[in-house]
Amino acid sequence: MGEKIAFIGVGRMGSGMVARLIAAGHELAIYDPVASAMAPLAALGARVASSAADAAATSSVAMASVPGPAEARETARLIAGSAKVKVFVDTSTSGPAAAQAIAALLAPRAISAIDAPVSGGVTGAAAGKLAIMASGPAPAMERVRPLLEVLGKVYRLGDKPGLGQTVKLANNLMSAASLAIAAEALAMGVKAGVDPAAMLEVLNASSGRNSATQDKFPKHVLNRRFDFGFANALSFKDVRLCLDEAEALGVPMVVGAAVRQMLSITHQIHGAAADCTDLVRVVENWAGCQIGSKEE
């Protein structure tokens, strides 16, 4: 028998997760402030709710995929009034502080909080191939594990709220750092006269390979599309959250601070709609070169 699930936030990531859960036989009530985002999922059988509270009113599990910590906290506040919800699962990248605040908010209502941020992008969400970094109370974790396993591979990181968020922030910092350093390295090679495709082939057979050289550059930069699908604004938000957490823990992040600055500059130059790969264009402009062409 399927679980009754309220799912708040059905954008690029949330919609893929909801479709997977419906296909697995679960009953979904969905809400998103963008009404048009809900229509394709309604066609799959989801109930379109009028609010997050309305979605939670008939559901035993609530899940969220929202832009950041403020939205995650507000969603938790709205579902806290539900007499039905027993577990709240935040799949957003909202940070450890938000996860801890959400757990404290929901505990008096006898609602368990699981922070379960995901990695794998839109493609991973649609295919059920996400990496899910989860933490929270063991009984609640075991209840929602079958739901999370529909979405990808679950890595349980402990009982303490926020541990999943901590690992996700570290992952996203490393991903952004890989893109920034690869952009500088490729710009140096191109400026010296090396073909970027040939350079990437060497790098990907060598110790310098990373997610940017293996995926972002070959598929989204050399062809000049800059369409990886993860917003620079979200990357900037995640790295800021990561550095805030590191500072609170007393961990120096010298390299991380440089990455944050690069993301900030990209945001200022290319705007809120910029793709994360637009950071490469900043480096190209400074170096006076172009990595790849439309003919690549």
Indicate whether 295 belongs to any domain. Answer: no
Structural domain for 254, as ranges: 165-287
Q: Is residue 292 part of a domain?
A: no
Residue 296 lies in a domain: no
Instruction: Give the closest residue to 151 by CA, choosing from 132, 123, 171.
Output: 132
Q: What is the pLDDT of residues 79-93, one digit of tens each?
A: 999 999 999 999 999
Instruction: Count CA atoms within 13 Å of residue 238 on its CB side.
Output: 27
Same domain as 264, residue 195: yes
- Final residue of a structural domain among 112, 143, 160: 160
What CATH number does residue 282 fall under? 1.10.1040.10
What proportion of the chain, given as a percentage, has pLDDT over 70?
99
Residue 293 lies inside a defined structural domain of this protein: no
Same domain as 81, residue 128: yes
Shared domain check, 275 and 227: yes
Whole-number Å distance between alpha carbons of 112 and 106: 7
Q: Same structural domain for residues 113 and 28?
A: yes
- What pLDDT score was predicted for residue 2? 87
Q: Are 85 and 212 within one domain?
A: no
pTM of the model: 0.93
Our answer to whether residue 84 is catalytic in this structure is no
Q: Considering 114, 142, 160, which residue would you say is the last residue of a domain?
A: 160
Q: Is residue 171 part of a domain?
A: yes
Give me the catalytic one of 129, 153, 160, 168: 168
pLDDT tens, position by position, 101-119: 999 999 999 999 999 999 9
Same structural domain, 183 and 156:
no
The domain boundary residue, chosen from 130, 160, 190: 160
CATH of the domain at 155: 3.40.50.720
pLDDT in tens, 230-276: 999 999 999 999 999 999 999 999 999 999 999 999 999 999 999 99
Residue 47 lies in a domain: yes
Share of the chain above pLDDT 90, in %: 98
- The H-assigned helical ranges of the chain are 12-23, 39-43, 52-56, 69-79, 96-106, 121-127, 138-151, 163-192, 196-203, 211, 232-249, 254-270, 279-287
In a domain, residue 179? The reply is: yes
- Number of separate domains in the chain: 2
One domain, residues 79 and 21: yes
As given in the structure block, the two tokens for residue 141 are: 């974790």
Q: Are residues 244 and 200 in the same domain?
A: yes
The verdict on 77 and 223 lying in the same domain is: no
